[in-house]
């Protein structure tokens, strides 16, 4: 059986990933997996997302460990559709969010080492195959404004400086190639208003379905 084409949609908080993914849920050939926020909000009764935002120094290791576990579940989950589309990935969890925790002094070096060992083991030994990364590239100012507008309670503590730091780490990874890229990257200007995003959706559709057809042909 031909394995599915796997596409990961990456970007800062507030870059428009949820809206972007919603567009692709209409295609029967595509199985879309949203970021498992519901699990992060309820891990056996604990809202790890809220705990992490309120006290990142205490909860960052716990939260990021669970993020890696839940993302790994999405990466390895079998599907019948020919295309799998995932919101974020285990790679951005490590390269952007774990790295930011360490850079900001919110994670001890020993904690970072443990998460890095776990990340290296899983990416080398488990079937985490990516065919395309779609990077929704958004200016920090735009992302921060969108976060304020949507008003998620856990995100009330997010500061502009945090969005700027996460943006830089996405740029270092996906634009400046300072971290390992597991597959090609399609960069999309996500500063646009939603009504103007249709051409970008179409571009992603073309890239994605071209890859799927090429895989079947081979």
12 labeled part of a ligand binding site? yes
The answer to whether the annotation marks 157 as part of a ligand binding site is no
Report helix, strand or coil for 190: coil
Helical packing angle, 17-24 and 198-217, nearest 10°: 50
Is 16 flagged in the annotation as binding? yes
149 annotated ligand-binding residue: yes
Question: At CB < 8 A and 24+ separation, what contacts does 51-60 make?
Answer: 53/154, 53/155, 53/156, 53/157, 53/158, 54/157, 56/101, 56/104, 56/106, 57/105, 57/106, 57/107, 60/101, 60/106, 60/107, 60/111
Residue 15 annotated as binding site:
yes
Distance CA 143, CA 21 (A): 17
Helix, strand, coil percentages (3-state) for the chain, rounded to 5, are: 60, 15, 30
45 is in an annotated binding site: no
Q: Which of 67, 27, 29 is nearest to 49 (CA)?
A: 67
On whether the CB atoms of residues 202 and 73 are closer than 8 A, the answer is: no
Residue 31 marked as a ligand binder: no
Catalytic residue among 87, 117, 155, 161: 87
Residue 87: active-site member: yes
Sequence-ordered list of residues with C-beta below 8 angstroms from that of 135, at least 6 positions apart, any chain: 10, 11, 170, 174, 175, 185, 186, 187, 188
Q: Is 14 annotated as a binding residue?
A: yes
Is 151 within any annotated ligand binding site? no
Q: Is 147 annotated as a binding residue?
A: yes
Q: Which positions are annotated as active-site residues?
A: 87
Give the residue ranges of the annotated binding site for ATP. 11-19, 146-150
Give the residue ranges of the annotated binding site. 11-19, 146-150
């Amino acid at each position: 059986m031909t394995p599915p084409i796997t596409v990961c949609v990456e970007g800062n908080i507030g870059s428009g990933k949820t809206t972007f993914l919603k567009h692709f849920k209409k295609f029967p050939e595509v199985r879309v997996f949203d970021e498992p926020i519901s699990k992060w909000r309820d891990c056996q009764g604990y809202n790890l997302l809220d705990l992490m935002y309120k006290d990142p120094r205490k909860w960052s290791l716990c939260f990021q460990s669970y993020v890696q576990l839940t993302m790994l579940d999405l990466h390895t989950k079998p599907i019948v559709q020919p295309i799998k589309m995932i919101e974020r990935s285990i790679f951005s969890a490590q390269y952007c969010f774990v790295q930011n925790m360490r850079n900001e002094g919110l994670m001890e070096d020993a904690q970072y080492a443990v998460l890095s060992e776990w990340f290296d083991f899983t990416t080398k030994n488990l079937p985490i195959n990516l065919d395309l990364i779609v990077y929704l590239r958004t200016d920090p100012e735009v992302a921060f404004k969108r976060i304020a507008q949507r008003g998620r309670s856990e995100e009330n503590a997010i500061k502009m400086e945090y969005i700027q730091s996460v943006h830089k780490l996405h740029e270092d990874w996906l634009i400046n190639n300072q971290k390992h890229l597991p597959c090609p990257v399609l960069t999309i200007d996500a500063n646009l208003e939603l009504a103007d995003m249709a051409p970008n959706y179409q571009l992603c559709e073309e890239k994605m379905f071209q890859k799927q057809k090429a895989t079947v042909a081979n």
